């Protein structure tokens, strides 16, 4: 990949920015995520995302703070994050 090539579509970049904004991501929080190595695990082609509950359990996310399914056919809304399933 050369320097002018981008791995993301403009829609994917927008979705990432919307997620970061919806979760009120800070520089320090993002740095902790980078230092943890979790993104490397997520980007590993062998990563299995089929068991969403196991992923949530591994991240110690409580059901009370559980976000709704994100609709990919429209922009992310704050209510998508704040309402539980």
C-alpha 82/C-alpha 68 separation (Å) is 8
Provide the H-helix boundaries in the chain: 10-22, 27-36, 38-43, 52-58, 78-82
C-alpha 82/C-alpha 72 separation (Å) is 17
pTM for the structure as a whole: 0.57
Under DSSP, is residue 74 helix (H, G, I), strand (E, B) or coil?
coil
Mean pLDDT in each 10-residue stretch from start to end of the chain (85 residues)? 73 92 93 93 92 86 60 62 47
> What pLDDT, in 10s, does the model give residues 38-49?
999 999 999 999
How do the domains of the chain map onto residue ranges? 10-64+75-80
Under DSSP, is residue 85 helix (H, G, I), strand (E, B) or coil?
coil
């Amino acid at each position: 990949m050369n320097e002018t090539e981008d791995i993301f579509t403009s829609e994917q970049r927008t979705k990432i920015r919307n997620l970061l904004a919806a979760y009120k991501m800070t520089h320090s929080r993002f740095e902790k995520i980078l230092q943890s190595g979790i993104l490397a695990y997520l980007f590993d082609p062998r990563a299995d995302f089929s068991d969403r509950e196991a992923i949530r359990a591994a991240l110690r996310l409580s059901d009370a703070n559980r976000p709704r399914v994100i609709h990919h056919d429209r922009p992310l809304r704050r209510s998508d994050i704040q309402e539980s399933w």
